[in-house]
């Protein structure tokens, strides 16, 4: 079963705009990760945020985590065509190694 | 190699046929994971190895699924008597760390299995 739910399921924006995707989860976590998947490169790790962190940046990516609401958001600024992909959040489980995944947000960047 | 590799990339099997999917993790990575990903869904955990030990196989959907990592590096996922519902992309991932602790998983390109 999947723990996370991404929102929206699909998002289509113009190149240069910002894209925001959200992830909600059900149980307490130690950390949350975001991954990107496209047909050319498979699943690629983007960023990890620990449960005691509220915000993290990596290049054009900004991730926030609100443990009280059991939610996270991924912001991609100044989007590019190459950002077209599906984005997944994954949370660790009690076992501390098993990742539990959402269904993903499909992002399309229009040139 | 530079990353996780999987073979074959595509496999078409007739219902009832046995298949074997191979994963070559990043050299030195302790942890190895198998996931099943249906179309339009996120990956679903199948099984986890720490070196050669299979520590968790709770995600394997039936006893037709079997995984091994005999020397703690290459892993094989075997599906016996394939059924149409086994059609999916099978992803392998490896991680440098062993539990506990957060781990970034490095994924292979996957094997797309189609059962006719």
Distance between B75 CA and the closest CA of chain A, angstroms: 18
User: Residues with Cβ < 8 Å from B62, sequence gap 6 or more?
Assistant: none
Q: State pLDDT tens for residues A86-110.
A: 999 999 866 656 788 888 999 999 9
Q: Does B68 lie at the interface with A, CB-CB under 8 angstroms?
A: no
Burial class of residue B37 in the structure, from the number of CB atoms within 10 Å of its CB (0-12 exposed, 13-18 middle, 19+ buried): buried
Residues A35-59 have a mean pLDDT of 90
DSSP3 helix / strand / coil % (chain B, rounded to 5): 5, 45, 50
Asked if A2 and B42 come within 8 Å (Cβ–Cβ), the reply is: yes
Q: State pLDDT tens for residues B36-59.
A: 999 888 999 999 999 999 999 999
- Does A14 have pLDDT greater than 80? yes
Comparing CA positions, the residue from A88, A90, A82 lying closest to residue A108 is: A82
Residues in chain A: 111
Tell which B residues from 77 to 106 touch A, by Cβ distance under 8 Å: 91, 93, 95, 98-106
The pLDDT averaged over each successive group of 10 residues in chain B (116 residues) is 89 98 95 92 92 94 96 97 97 80 82 96
């Amino acid at each position: 079963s999947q723990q996370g739910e991404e929102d929206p399921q699909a998002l289509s924006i113009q190149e240069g705009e910002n894209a925001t995707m959200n992830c909600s989860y059900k149980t307490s976590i130690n950390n949350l990760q975001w991954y990107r998947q496209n047909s050319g490169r498979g699943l690629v790790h983007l960023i990890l945020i620990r449960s005691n962190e509220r915000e993290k940046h990596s290049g054009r990516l900004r991730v926030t985590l609100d443990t009280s609401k059991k939610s996270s958001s991924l912001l991609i600024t100044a989007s590019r065509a190459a950002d077209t992909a599906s984005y997944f959040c994954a949370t660790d489980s009690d076992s501390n190694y098993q990742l539990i995944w959402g269904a993903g947000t499909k992002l399309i960047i229009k040139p | 190699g530079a990353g996780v590799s999987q073979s074959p990339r595509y496999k078409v099997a007739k219902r009832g046929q046995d298949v074997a999917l191979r994963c070559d993790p990043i050299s030195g990575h302790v942890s190895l994971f198998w996931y099943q990903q249906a179309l339009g869904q996120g990956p679903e955990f199948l099984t986890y190895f720490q070196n050669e030990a299979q520590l968790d196989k709770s995600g394997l959907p039936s006893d037709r699924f079997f995984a091994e990592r005999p020397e703690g590096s290459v892993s094989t996922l075997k599906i016996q008597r394939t059924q149409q519902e086994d059609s999916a992309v099978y992803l392998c991932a490896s991680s440098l760390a062993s539990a506990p602790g957060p781990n970034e998983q490095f994924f292979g390109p996957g094997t797309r299995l189609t059962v006719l």
